[in-house]
Amino acid sequence: MNLTLLWLFLHITLLFAAVAVAFGGGFLMRVAFMTGQVGPIRGVGMVVGRVGPLIPILFLSGGLFGLITAISFGTNLLSPWLVIAYVLFAIAMYIGVVNNRAFGEHLGQIVRTAPDGPVTPEIVELFNNRREVAVSIIDYVILAALIFDMVVKPFS
């Protein structure tokens, strides 16, 4: 097997896993919130809290294999589509490390002490916070833009 294809396979596989864990956890958390009950939020939160530390490892290792792949293919590392990818990747990592992590930690503190039953006003406020919703939308738009960039390779 061509080693370059192995790097490409690892790049794609690790980033698929990273997206599945990061965005899947956030999606399931939103679905749990929509039940209106603390129990499902707590349950999903416990799982997401355990796999959360894997998210930056998966993204960074996937990105590293992407660089190795680009070098192996002889791709110009300053090609416009790669520069776009670098910028979008950096923004997405920042959102994940700063915003999403803080959201998860704050939610974890709230649900640890919240009684079982209907969601508390504090939980509702956290999920419906305009800034949180806007950042989540931006995160999904960046993900879509990254996928578009990787497939179409604009300006190349």
> 31-51, pLDDT tens digit by residue?
999 999 999 999 999 999 999
Mean pLDDT of 6-18: 97
Whether the pLDDT of residue 1 is over 70: the answer is: no
* Biggest CA pair distance of the chain: 57
3-state secondary structure of 18: helix
3-state helix, strand, coil in the chain (%, to 5): 85, 0, 15
DSSP 8-state secondary structure symbol assigned to residue 117: S
- For residue 44, CA distances in Å to 15, 23, 36, 39 come to 22, 13, 14, 9
Average pLDDT, the chain: 95
Confidence of residue 116 (pLDDT cuts 50, 70, 90): very high
- For residue 64, CA distances in Å to 8, 58, 100, 125, 135 come to 11, 10, 22, 38, 25
Q: What is the pLDDT of residue 156?
A: 86
In a 10 Å sphere around its CB, with 0-12 CB exposed, 13-18 middle and 19+ buried, how is residue 154 labelled? exposed
Whether the pLDDT of residue 127 is over 80: the answer is: yes
Q: What is the pLDDT of residue 105?
A: 93
3-state secondary structure of 119: coil
